Structure 1
Amino acid sequence: MNKKTLTKLEFYKITELLMNEATTPGGQRKCRNLKPSTDLTKIESMQEETAAAFTRIVKKGHLSFSGCYPIEESMKRLEVGAALNAAELLRIAKVLTAAGRAKAYGRHETIEELADCLDSYFDMLEPVSLLSTEIDRCIISEDEISDDASSTLKQIRRQIGAMNDRVHSTLTGMVNGPLRTYLQDAIITMRGDRYCIPVKAEYRSKVSGMIHDQSATGSTLFIEPMAVVKLNNDLKELYGKEQEEIQVILARLSSDAADYIEEIRTDYKVMTELDFIFARGSLALSMNASRPVFNNERRILIREGRHPLIDRKKVVPITISLGDTFDLLIVTGPNTGGKTVSLKTVGLFTLMGQAGLHIPALDRSELGIFEDVYADIGDEQSIEQSLSTFSSHMTNIVSFLMKIKDDSLVLFDELGAGTDPTEGAALAIAILSHLHAQGIRTMATTHYSELKIFALETPGVENASCEFDVATLRPTYRLLIGIPGKSNAFAISKKLGLPDYIIEDARAHLSSEAESFEDVLTDLEANRRLIEKEKEEIASYKRELERLKNETASRQKKLDDQRDRIIREANEKAHAILLDAKETADETMKNFRKFGKENISAAEMEKERERLRKKLKSTSSKVTLETAKPRKKHKPSDFKLGESVRVLSMNLNGIITSLPDARGNLHVQMGILNSQVHMSDLEIIEEQPSYSAKGLQRTSKGKMKMSKSFSVSPEINLLGKTVDEAVAELDKYLDDAYIAHLSPVRIVHGKGTGALRNGIHAYLRRQKHIKEFHLAAFGEGDAGVTIVEFK
Structure 2
Amino acid sequence: MDEKTLVTLEFPKVLERLAAYAAFSISAEMARALRPTSDLEEALKRQARTSEARRLLSINVDFSVGGARDIRALVDLARRAGVLEGSDLLDVKNTLTAARNMARTFERHAAECPHLAEVALGLPPPSGIIDIITQSISDRGDVLDSASDRLSTIRRELKISYERLMSRLERMLNDPNVSPMLQEGIITQRNGRYVLPLRAEFKGRVRSIIHDQSASGATLFVEPLVTVELNNKLHEMQLAERDEVRRILADISAQIGRQAREIEIVLGALAEMDLALMCAKYADDLRASEPVLNASKPRRDHPGTTLRLFQARHPLLDAKKVVSIDVDLNEQTFAVVITGPNTGGKTVTLKTVGLLALMAQSGLHIPAQSGSALSIFADIFADIGDEQSIEQSLSTFSGHITNIVRILGLAGPGTLVLLDELGAGTDPQEGAALARALLSDLVQKRVPCLVATHYPELKSFAHSTPGVVNASMEFDLQTLRPTYHLTLGLPGRSNALLIAERLGLPERVLLEARGQLNPEDLRTEDLLDEIHQQRDLARQARTAAEKSRGDAERLRSELQQQREQIEDERLKILEKTRREAEKEVEALRREMDDLRRQLNRARQPLEALKPLQRKLTDLEDSVQKPVERQTVVTETVSSRQPLRIGEKVRLRALQMDGVVTAVSESDVEVQLGALRLRTRLSDIQRSGDTPPAPPSPTAGRGAPRPPAAPSSGRVPTPPLPSPGMELDLRGQRAEDALEMLQTYIDNAYMTGMPFVRIIHGKGTGRLRQVVREALQASSYVARFETGQESEGGDGVTVAHMKED
TM-score by length of 2: 0.67
Indicate yes or no: 2:412 matched with 1:405.
Answer: yes
Cross-structure match for 2:522? 515
Cross-structure match for 1:444? 451
Cross-structure match for 1:121? 119
Alignment of 1:397-476 (within 5 A): 397-476=404-483
Deviation at 1:392, TM superposition (A): 1.7
Describe the superposition over 1:372-430 as per-residue Cα deviations: whole angstroms up to 9, x where unpaired.
Answer: 11111111223343322222211221222222222221111111111121111111111
Query: How many residue pairs get matched?
Result: 616
Deviation at 1:552, TM superposition (A): 9.7
Deviation at 1:92, TM superposition (A): 2.6
Describe the superposition over 1:332-360 as per-residue Cα deviations: whole angstroms up to 9, x where unpaired.
Answer: 11111111110000110111111111111
- For residues 416 and 621 of structure 2, the distance between their equivalents in structure 1, rounded to whole angstroms, comes to 86
Cross-structure match for 1:278? 277
Alignment of 1:488-567 (within 5 A): 488-539=495-546
Describe the superposition over 1:570-614 as per-residue Cα deviations: whole angstroms up to 9, x where unpaired.
Answer: 99999999999999999999999998xx6x7xxxx7xx89x8499
Cross-structure match for 2:68? 68
Indicate yes or no: 2:312 matched with 1:314.
Answer: no
Q: Aligned in 2, Cα 1:568/1:58: closer, same or farther, shift over 3 Å?
A: closer
- For residues 320 and 550 of structure 2, the distance between their equivalents in structure 1, rounded to whole angstroms, comes to 27
Cross-structure match for 2:25? 25
Deviation at 1:249, TM superposition (A): 3.6
Q: Aligned in 2, Cα 1:337/1:554: closer, same or farther, shift over 3 Å?
A: same
Cross-structure match for 1:304? 311
Cross-structure match for 1:354? 361
Alignment of 1:722-737 (within 5 A): none
Deviation at 1:469, TM superposition (A): 1.0
Deviation at 1:315, TM superposition (A): 0.8
**Which stretch has the larger CA shift, 264-273 or 280-289?**
264-273
**3-state SS of paired residue (2:15):** helix
- For residues 468 and 392 of structure 1, the distance between their equivalents in structure 2, rounded to whole angstroms, comes to 30
Taking only aligned residues, the RMSD between alpha carbons, in angstroms, comes to 4.5
Q: Aligned in 2, Cα 1:339/1:255: closer, same or farther, shift over 3 Å?
A: closer
- For residues 505 and 246 of structure 1, the distance between their equivalents in structure 2, rounded to whole angstroms, comes to 96
Q: Aligned in 2, Cα 1:510/1:166: closer, same or farther, shift over 3 Å?
A: same
Q: Aligned in 2, Cα 1:415/1:552: closer, same or farther, shift over 3 Å?
A: same
**3-state SS of paired residue (1:484):** coil
When Rg is computed on C-alpha atoms for both structures, the one with the higher figure is: 1
Indicate yes or no: 2:99 matched with 1:92.
Answer: no
Q: Is the 8 A contact 2:76 2:260 kept in 1?
A: no
Cross-structure match for 1:157? 155
Describe the superposition over 1:302-325 as per-residue Cα deviations: whole angstroms up to 9, x where unpaired.
Answer: 111010000110011101134732
Cross-structure match for 1:166? 164
Q: Aligned in 2, Cα 1:201/1:500: closer, same or farther, shift over 3 Å?
A: farther
Paired residue type of 2:282? L
Deviation at 1:267, TM superposition (A): 3.0
Unmatched runs of 5 consecutive residues or more in structure 1? 626-648, 651-791
Q: Is the 8 A contact 2:75 2:256 kept in 1?
A: no
Describe the superposition over 1:731-754 as per-residue Cα deviations: whole angstroms up to 9, x where unpaired.
Answer: xxxxxxxxxxxxxxxxxxxxxxxx
Paired residue type of 1:307? H
Cross-structure match for 2:239? 240
Cross-structure match for 1:290? 289
Paired residue type of 1:10? E
**Which stretch has the larger CA shift, 450-459 or 429-438?**
450-459
Percent of aligned pairs sharing the same letter: 38
- For residues 557 and 591 of structure 1, the distance between their equivalents in structure 2, rounded to whole angstroms, comes to 51
- For residues 332 and 45 of structure 2, the distance between their equivalents in structure 1, rounded to whole angstroms, comes to 29
- For residues 339 and 591 of structure 2, the distance between their equivalents in structure 1, rounded to whole angstroms, comes to 95
**3-state SS of paired residue (2:412):** coil
- For residues 376 and 406 of structure 2, the distance between their equivalents in structure 1, rounded to whole angstroms, comes to 22
- For residues 168 and 621 of structure 2, the distance between their equivalents in structure 1, rounded to whole angstroms, comes to 114
Q: Aligned in 2, Cα 1:614/1:400: closer, same or farther, shift over 3 Å?
A: closer
**3-state SS of paired residue (1:7):** helix
- For residues 144 and 165 of structure 1, the distance between their equivalents in structure 2, rounded to whole angstroms, comes to 22
Indicate yes or no: 2:223 matched with 1:224.
Answer: yes
Out of 105, 126, 132, which is 2:130 matched to?
A: 132
Q: Is the 8 A contact 2:79 2:256 kept in 1?
A: no
Q: Is the 8 A contact 1:292 1:366 kept in 2?
A: yes
Deviation at 1:85, TM superposition (A): 4.2
Q: Aligned in 2, Cα 1:583/1:523: closer, same or farther, shift over 3 Å?
A: same
Q: Aligned in 2, Cα 1:405/1:163: closer, same or farther, shift over 3 Å?
A: same
**3-state SS of paired residue (1:468):** strand
Q: Is the 8 A contact 1:40 1:369 kept in 2?
A: yes
**Which stretch has the larger CA shift, 273-282 or 139-148?**
139-148
Describe the superposition over 1:19-42 as per-residue Cα deviations: whole angstroms up to 9, x where unpaired.
Answer: 111112221121111111111111
Indicate yes or no: 2:16 matched with 1:9.
Answer: no
- For residues 213 and 255 of structure 2, the distance between their equivalents in structure 1, rounded to whole angstroms, comes to 48
- For residues 513 and 586 of structure 2, the distance between their equivalents in structure 1, rounded to whole angstroms, comes to 102
- For residues 133 and 621 of structure 2, the distance between their equivalents in structure 1, rounded to whole angstroms, comes to 90
Deviation at 1:271, TM superposition (A): 1.4
